[in-house]
Structure 1
């Protein structure tokens, strides 16, 4: 366990807990954690995860802005994703996992290229949903964490594997919490309509 792994895990743990609590501070703490993880994963030849961390840094900047000023300058509310969004996610995720895994398998010395690619692809999907404050980001994170824990443990990244096991629990708690927030938002938006009817 290196100081780099400890630092990456510490910042990322804070970011994930803040995301679950719907706090905008998840984004800047996540940027630091993802940068540290990018370096760590490069050292362990988990190249899909390195690409993923670069993606996370970029989308964290955008997510930070969207959460603060998402709709006409107002903070973005927690809502559900549309059915069309959900219907494309699984087949697109499987196809992208297969394609990227094949690239890593044939052109790099990547460890577990298809498993590593699944972590990348479904993390991208979850991150895009989170940027839009969509509740469904949490079940996708459950899938990602279920794949990531054994992958990281197999590379000797035991602290990281333990952290992702904690993320699994956090995703369940956060899923429940965000559903409550969405219900409150929906109820609050209906009050003026009833009053004017």
Structure 2
């Protein structure tokens, strides 16, 4: 089966790289320069966004969707949710990709939501979004339960990035969660690949 990965090592492509290393299937990498997008990428994804994968002709973009897709496409990796895990798996992956991401972007942009408009933005307030995430990662060892799943690739990446850039406080719950998810050998491999690409410049 053909699996092509369009990425830039200084992008959310790092999330998809981690997931690709978790499923441990062969894939071809196409590096995307911000100045010029490959025609094949634009054909697959007119926005030219990375990460994008093409798996036997099926196009998947958006990092959370790529994580979920790969977990289902390669069930032998054991990263798709069980029936008991599915609700939390979907809830927290979509919360992180939607309301939490929006809260973080608004924070960076200096957007202040008036109290009377909080119901319109999906995350209510920045503080409530962060508190909700803290409660989610505190409920069990991993975001969907006691087992690492593809949702942890996405949520773990987000917690790591938002903490690194000072958008999330370094709360003990976040530190404990990151310690667990960042111990994954696949993440070590993925980081080494992307860091080498950045160094090669």
Q: Same fold (TM over 0.5)?
A: no
More helix by share: 1
More strand by share: 2
- Provide the TM-score with structure 1 as the length reference: 0.37
- Provide the TM-score with structure 2 as the length reference: 0.37
